[in-house]
């Protein structure tokens, strides 16, 4: 009986675990490929590319490429530095233009010459001199003929635009090229700034020219023109190192006086 039980295969017994039979065939083994870490050399190609940069490196910054000289003329951002002024700076320069014998205007604006003041002054002077010129003409005609009726001459505006803008742009430009030709250290923006502020004195003085008295008008315009001309000449004198440059200063003085007389003759006849 015991021999019959001993002859049964053990794989059929309850709770038994069949033995692993090695039949000589091994299962295939899969191995993960090794990572091939490659180190890139630094970028030596100049401006052809940035090359490889590690993830742990600093963040990439984008720098604005400077525009070339001829492109900068047509770029609005090139002129923003000449409008970087506040009210206090403009007021100080306006007050400095009322003192004709100072001669230190260029030292005040050397670090930050502006174009905001000259543009604002020229534009304001155009409307002031055109409007007050019409009023002064009407008062003079009304004084001589009581039946004179009011009429606004639009031609005063056109004449003021061409004369004031033309003078504020062309005259400093001409003196700049002339001084550059004479090998003087001149600044075009500085000249535009100085000549623009020299016109400020004509704005308040235009109110005095409304007085319908011809002799007083001539006295006022010659006094104001002389003050403005002295302001230009005293500041331009810093570039005068010889007899030729002294003649240029005198020419600038006479041109400023001629502008004042032009205002009187054409706008306050």
At 22 the pLDDT is 53
**What is the C-alpha separation between 164 and 169, in angstroms, rounded?**
9
Q: What is the DSSP letter of 38?
A: -
Q: Which of 169, 264, 194, 190 is nearest to 225 (CA)?
A: 264
Is the model's pLDDT at 1 over the cut of 90? no
Establish how many alpha carbons lie within 13 A of residue 93's alpha carbon, considering only the half-sphere containing its beta carbon: 30
Structure confidence by residue, pLDDT tens digits, 142-200: 777 777 777 778 889 999 999 999 999 999 999 999 988 888 888 899 999 999 999 99
Name all contacts of 248-251 with Cβ < 8 Å and 24+ positions apart. 248/175, 248/178, 248/179
Could you give the angle at which helices 188-198 and 116-144 cross, rounded to 10 degrees? 30
Q: What is the DSSP letter of 115?
A: S
Q: Which uninterrupted H or E stretch holds 53?
A: none
Task: Write out the two tokens for 14.
Answer: 């309850």
At 160 the pLDDT is 96
Predicted TM-score of the model (pTM) = 0.70
Cβ–Cβ under 8 Å, residues 160 and 267: yes
Structure confidence by residue, pLDDT tens digits, 110-128: 788 999 999 999 999 999 9
Task: Write out the two tokens for 211.
Answer: 């007085």
pLDDT interval class at 31 (50, 70, 90): low
């Amino acid at each position: 009986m015991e021999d019959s039980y001993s002859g049964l295969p053990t794989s059929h017994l309850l709770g038994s675990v069949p033995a692993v039979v090695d039949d000589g065939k091994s299962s295939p083994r899969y191995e993960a490929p090794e990572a091939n870490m490659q180190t890139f050399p630094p970028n030596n190609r100049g401006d052809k590319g940035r090359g490889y940069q590690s993830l742990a490196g600093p963040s990439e910054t984008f720098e604005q490429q400077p525009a070339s000289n001829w492109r900068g003329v047509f770029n609005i951002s090139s002129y923003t530095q000449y409008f970087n002024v506040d009210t206090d700076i403009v007021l100080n320069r306006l007050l400095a233009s009322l003192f004709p014998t100072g001669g230190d205007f260029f030292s005040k604006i050397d670090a930050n010459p502006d174009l905001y003041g000259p543009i604002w002054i020229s534009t304001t002077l155009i409307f002031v001199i055109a409007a007050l010129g019409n009023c002064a003409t009407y008062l003079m005609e009304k004084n001589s003929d009581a039946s004179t009726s009011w009429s606004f001459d639009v031609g005063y505006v056109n004449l003021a635009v061409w004369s004031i803008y033309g003078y504020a742009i062309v005259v400093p430009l001409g003196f700049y090229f002339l001084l550059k030709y004479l090998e003087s250290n001149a600044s075009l923006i500085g000249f535009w700034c100085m000549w623009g502020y020299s016109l400020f004195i004509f704005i308040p003085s235009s109110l005095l020219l409304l007085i319908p008295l011809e002799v007083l008008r001539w006295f006022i315009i010659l006094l104001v023109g002389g003050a403005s001309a002295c302001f230009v000449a005293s500041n331009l004198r810093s570039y005068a190192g010889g007899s030729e440059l002294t003649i240029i200063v005198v020419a600038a003085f006479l041109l400023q006086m001629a502008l004042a007389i032009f205002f009187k003759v054409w706008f306050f006849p």
